[in-house]
Chains A and B, each alone.
Chain A
Amino acid sequence: MSRTSSRPWNWVVVNRLVLAALLTAVSVPSRAQDSPANDPVCGAGQEHPNPSTLQDWAFCAAHDLVNHKIIKKEDPDIGQFLDQLTILAIAGGLKPDLVEQKFDLVNAQQETARTDKQLGASARAQGSTTLAEKPGIQDLLGLAIEEGAIQKEVNGTTLTLSTSPYALTAIRNGDTASNYLKHGDDLGRVGISATFNIANQEDVLSNATRKQLAEWAVRIRLSGDHSPRSKGFQKFWDNEVKKKLEQEAIAITAAAASTFQDVAAEKRREEVGDLLSAQIKTLFDQQKEQLTSNPRQVILAVRDQILSTCKTEISDNIDSFHLDAVTKHRIMSVTMPALLDAHVQATQGLKELNERIQALQALGTATFEYANVRDTTSGTYSNLKFLYQKGSSDTMKIVFNAGASFYSNPNHDLNQQTTRDFATALSWEGLAGRSPLALDANDQSQVTFSFSGRYQRLLENRHVAGKKADIASAQGKLELPILTGASLALSITYANADELASKDHVRFNFGINYDTGKLYQLLQLNKKKAELAQ
C-alpha cells in the first residue's frame, strides 16, 4: 500500500481524479451502452484502464448473470457481486466533497494505456502447411474429449487421427489444472497420429482401417513446456502475480467485514441482496425470450435495475445501515484509496503476466518425429525429422523442419538405396485477424497466411533421365474461415520438379477444410441457447 517516490509527480492528482470518478459513478444517470465494444470489464483479473466503478460492476454483474443463464442454465445469483456493489454504493452515498467537483476522466485515462478485453478465441494453429510441419502435439480440443480423446482432421483426401497419452488421462480425470500438473510435462510430451487415405467420403471415420493407412507417426517434444499451464508459469503466478491481483478482493472484503460487522448493518445488507435477487429473477422471467433473441437488452435492463436499487436502497438511504462515523470515515479514507492502489497493483501484475506469456511464446519448441510412411509408388519408408517452432510476435511464428528418410527394404530396380532423401523446410506463418466472412458472432476464427520454402535431395532420382534429385519449392497459402467450422484454403506453389518428373511448374490449389472440434463447440452453444428459449 505504500506510495513510492518513483511514481510521477502528478500521481496524487490522478488518484484524486480516479477516486472522484469512482464515486461520481453512482450519481451518473444510467445510459445505454453505445456498443458492445464499449462494454466495461471488471475486477483485478481483467485489463481495464480505470478502477471499476459502481456502474461498471452493475454492468459486469448483469453480463455474467445473463452469460451463465445462457451457457450454464444457472439461475441468477446476485450474491456473487453484492459486496462490490454495496461498498461502492455506500461510498457514493456518503457524498464527499470530491463527488461534487467536476473532473474529467479523460485526464486519468491518459495515464494508462487501454488494453481492451480479449473476447476472441485464441486461433487454432491451422493444419500443417504443405511444405513445413509444425512441431506442436495436438492438444485436447472439442471432439477429442467427447470422442475418446482422439483428434480428427480431414484435409483433402486424407484423414488424420491424433492423440497423446495425456489425453487418455484427461478422459478419466478431466483436463484440469491438477491433471495437467501431474501429467502435462511428461505424458503431454508425446503425440501419436495416424493418417488414412479417404476412400469413403460419406463416412470419413470408416476409412480408419489398416488397409487405408498411409502413415503413422510418433512425436516427442524435446524442449520444456512453455505453455501458461506449465509448472514454471504456475510458480511465476504464485510468487510474483497472485498477491498483486488479490489486493482488490482484500480491500473489498476487508471493507465489507468491518462495515457490516454490526448485526443491524449486516441485516440491512442482506435485505438489499434479497430485494435485488427478487427483482432480477422477475426481470429474467419477464424477458425469457429476449435471453436468446436479444441478450444485450436483458443485460442492460438488469444493469439499470441494479443501479436503481443501489441508489434508492443504499446511496440515498445510507442511514438505514446505521453506520457510525468511524465506519463512514474508514470507507472514504481507507477503502477507496486501497481500491485505487489495488487497481494499480493489478495493472502491474497483468502487465507482468502478459510479458511472461509473450516471453514463453518466443521460446522455441523442438520436437523429434518418427514417421512410418506407406507410399504406394515407392514402398514403405521411415522418416526421421527434427521440427522447431518459434514465435516471432503475438501473431507470427517461424517453423523449421529438417529430416531424412530411410527404406527398410530398398528396391534396387527403382534405383533405391537405404537412404531415401534429405529434406528441409522453412515456413513463416501469421494471423490476420478475425475472418470477415464468419457469420456466427461466437465464431472468432482467424484468417491465417503462410510463406514456405522446401528443399529435398531425393537420392533415387540421381542419374535418372526425366527426374531431378534436387527438388525445391516455394508456397504462399491463405486460409479464410467462411462458415462455422469450415475454411477456404488457397495456395500457390512453384516447384522446379516433383519426385516423379523434372518439369518445373506452378500449381494453384484450393479446398475446404473442416474443423469438427470448432463446429461441435459452436453447435453446443447454439443448442443451449435453443433449449433456453423453450
Chain B
Amino acid sequence: MQQITRSIYLVDKGEVVTLEIQAIKVGNFASFVVDGKSIDPISSTPLTFQFTVALSQGQAHHGMITCFFPKTAPDDAEFDVFVSGSGGGGKFTGSDILKSDASWTRAIEFRRPH
C-alpha cells in the first residue's frame, strides 16, 4: 500500500486493507462503508475494519467514514483514522474528524494503478 494523501491510497489486487478508527474523548460512534456495503468491525479496541481489494487496473474502491459526537463530548474530542495494507508499506495516518468540523463524514479511496 502507498499513501497519496490522507484520503487516497494505492493498493494491489487481493491486498487486505485494515482501517482503524481511534475515538478520543468520545465513544466508538463511527462506521465504515465501502462501495455501498457496510463493513462490520473486527475489533472495538480500537474500532477496526478490514476488507479485501477486488479491483481491475485503473479502478477504485470508494469508502466512507461516518462519525457522531454527542453534545456532551468535549470540544477537543476527535476520531483519528489509521490505514494499513497486507502488502506492506506501513501504517498510515488517515483523515481525522474533529467535533468542530462542519461534516463528520469523510470519503477515503483505494486505487489500483493502471
Q: Which residues of A come within 8 Å of B, CB atoms?
A: 39-46, 57, 59-61, 63-64, 67-68, 71-72, 74, 77, 79-84, 117-119, 121-122, 140-141, 174-178, 180-182, 227-229, 233-234, 237, 241-243, 245-246, 248-257, 260-261, 263, 266-267, 270, 277, 350, 353-354, 357, 361, 444, 521
Contact = CB atoms under 8 A, between A and B. Distances in A.
B103 A81 contact: yes
Contacts of A175: 24-25
Contacts of B28: 177, 181, 234, 237
Interface in B49-82: 56-76
A237 B29 contact: yes
B22 interface: yes
B107 A79 contact: yes
A298 to B, nearest CB: 14
A181 B73 CA distance: 16
A350 B29 CA distance: 12
A68 B98 contact: yes
Given A82-B107, A176-B46, A266-B59, A246 B66 contact: yes
Contacts of A242: 29, 31
Contacts of A251: 36
Residue in A43, A74, A121, A174 whose Cβ sees the most chain B Cβ within 10 Å: A43
B23 A228 contact: no
A83 B72 contact: no
B17 interface: no
Contact of A83 (B31, B47, B62, B111): B62
Contact of A254 (B36, B45, B66): B36
Interface of B: 5-8, 22-29, 31, 33-38, 44-47, 56-76, 95-96, 98, 100-109, 111, 114
Contacts of B111: 270
A473 to B, nearest CB: 32
A178 B45 contact: yes
Given A176-B46, A250-B33, A256 B62 contact: yes
A118 B104 CA distance: 13
Nearest to A231: B27
A234 B65 CA distance: 17
Contacts, number: 207
B81 to A, nearest CB: 10
Nearest to A44: B66
B45 A181 contact: yes
Contacts of A81: 103, 106-107
A257 B61 contact: yes
Given A178-B46, A253-B63, A266-B59, A245 B36 contact: no
B7 A80 contact: yes
Nearest to A245: B66
A175 B5 CA distance: 27
Residue in B46, B57, B62 whose Cβ sees the most chain A Cβ within 10 Å: B62
Residue in B33, B67, B73 whose Cβ sees the most chain A Cβ within 10 Å: B33
16 contacts: A45-B29, A45-B66, A57-B103, A63-B102, A72-B98, A83-B62, A121-B75, A122-B74, A174-B24, A176-B24, A177-B45, A234-B27, A245-B68, A253-B36, A266-B60, A521-B76
A444 B57 CA distance: 50
Contacts of B67: 45
Contacts of B46: 176-178
A42 B27 contact: no
B44 A71 contact: no
Contact of B6 (A80, A119, A266, A444): A80
Given A43-B103, A45-B67, A353-B68, A68 B31 contact: no
